[in-house]
Amino acid sequence: MVRLVMTDSRFSLAGLDPNEDTVTGTGYQSSSGMLRQDVPHIRRIRHGIISLFSEQSIAPWREEVEEVADDLISKLPDGHQPPDLNKQYFEPLVVRAVALSAGITKEESDKLYDFSNKVLVRVETAEDRARICGAWRELYDYGSNLINRKLSDPDDRLLSKIFVQLKNTHLNDDQIVAASGTILAGFYTPFGILSVSAVELFRHPDVVEACQKESTLWERTIEELMRYKAHFNFFLPRVATEDVTLGDVKIHAGQVVLPSLHAAVNDPESFTYPNVFTTHRKQARCNIVFGAGPHFCPGAALSRQWLQVGLERLFTTLPGLRLTKQYSDLKWQPGSISMPKEVLVTWDKEHI
C-alpha cells in the first residue's frame, strides 16, 4: 500500500499544505524544494542529476571513504575512553565522506551538517515553524554561494556536476538554490542509520562473524539492518488530488494520507516473518527504506556505500568489538530515526 501511494500521481506533495507536513520539516522548505514538487516538474529537476548518484558514478570514491574510516578507527584508542562511536566514528565519517564525495572542505561539510540538523527535524510546536523556515533560508544563502563558486571553479565531484546539470534544466536561480538545498540537507542522514545498525549488530555476533568470514555478506546484512531497525520512522505525507480507491480503501480528494516506512518494512506480504532479523531473505534489497516513485531517494547508492564501508571497516579492524554496557541500558533519543545517545565500546586490544 505504501509503495502504491508513493508511485501513484494522484497523490501529491505540491498540493500538501506545509502545515500538514508536521513530521520532518521538509514541508517548510521553499515551495521550489524537491520534496514539494510533483511530476512532471520533479522529473525535469532530477533528469540530469540522477545518473550522477548511480553506483557506478560514486564507486571511484569508495577507497577514499575507506581511508577516512581507517583513519578514524586508528584514532579510537587515543581519544576519549571508552570511545563513543557516535561522536568519534559515525558522525565524523559521514561529515568527511560528504566532503570528499561532494567536493567541499571538512569545515564546509561541518557547516552543512549543522544546517541539516536544523532543517530535518521533527516539528512539535507552532514556534518550530519559524525556526525551521529560518534555518532553510540560511541554508539557501550558504548553498547559493557554494553554487556560484562551484560553477566558476568546477571539480570532478558531485556538487559541481549537480549544479551544472541543474543550470542546464533552465531553472531560474531561486529554483536551483531550492533544489540544491534539498540535496545538501539530505547528505547527512546516514549518521543515525549507521549508529542504529551498529548497535543492532552487537546483538547478532553470529552475523558479524559470518560477514568477517565472507565479506560479500555485508551487502545483504546492511539491507536487512535497514529493513529491520535502521530506517526512518517518519511518515511521507501526500494529499489525494481526486477520489482514489486503493484495495478496499476509499480516499477522498483533499484527504491527506500518511504512508509509513515502518509499516512498509513490516508488511508480511512483502517480507515473510517481518519481525525476524535474518540475512537469508530471498529478496536481498530493501529499496522501500529509500521511498518509491518520483521522489525515490537519489542518495541510496551513496548511503549504501558509506554503510558498507563504515560497518565493514569497524567490525573487521577491531576484534571482539562490543558495547561497554548492556543493550537494554542504552539511552535513546528521538528524531527522524530514534538512535542511541551514545555508543560506548571496547574491544580485544591485545590483538591489534
Interface residues toward ligand HEM, by CB under 6 A: 34-35, 42, 46, 182-183, 186-187, 189-190, 193, 232, 236, 289-291, 295, 297-299, 302-303
Q: Which is nearer to ligand HEM, 61 or 232 (CB)?
A: 232
Residue nearest to ligand HEM (CB): 299
Give 47 or 203: the residue with its C-beta nearer to ligand HEM: 47
Q: Shortest distance, CB of residue 226 to ligand HEM, whole angstroms?
A: 7
**Ordered DSSP codes for 25-72:** SGGGS-TTSGGG--TTHHHHHHHTTGGGGSHHHHGGGHHHHHHHHHHH
Judging by DSSP bridges, how do beta strands 339-340 and 249-251 pair with one another?
Answer: unpaired
CA angle 82, 84, 85 (to 5 degrees): 125
CA distances from 115 to 11, 112, 130, 140, 171 (A): 29, 5, 15, 10, 24
114: cell is 549543522
Strands (E) in 104-143, as ranges, are none
Of residues 287 and 324, the one with the C-beta less far from ligand HEM: 287
Exposed/middle/buried for 49, CB within 10 Å: 0-12, 13-18, 19+? buried
- The amino acid sitting at 149 is R
Task: Report residue 295: phi and psi, to 5°.
Answer: -105, 15
C-alpha torsion angle, residues 275, 279, 280, 283 (rounded to 10) = 80
Shortest reach from residue 188's CB to ligand HEM, in Å: 7
Q: Is the CB of 92 or the CB of 347 nearer to ligand HEM?
A: 92
Query: Which residues make beta-bridge pairs with 244?
Result: 251
Residue 49 or 244 having the CB closest to ligand HEM = 49
Shortest Å, Cβ 34 to ligand HEM: 3
Reduce the DSSP state of residue 275 to 3 states and report it.
coil
Distance CA 347, CA 122 (A): 35
Nearer to ligand HEM, 46 or 150 (CB): 46
The least distance separating ligand HEM from the CB of residue 205, rounded to whole angstroms, comes to 24
Q: How far is the CB of 182 from ligand HEM (least distance, A)?
A: 4
Least CB distance from residue 78 to ligand HEM, whole Å?
29
- Minimum distance, C-beta of residue 14 to ligand HEM, in the bound complex (Å): 11
Of residues 204 and 231, the one with the C-beta less far from ligand HEM: 231
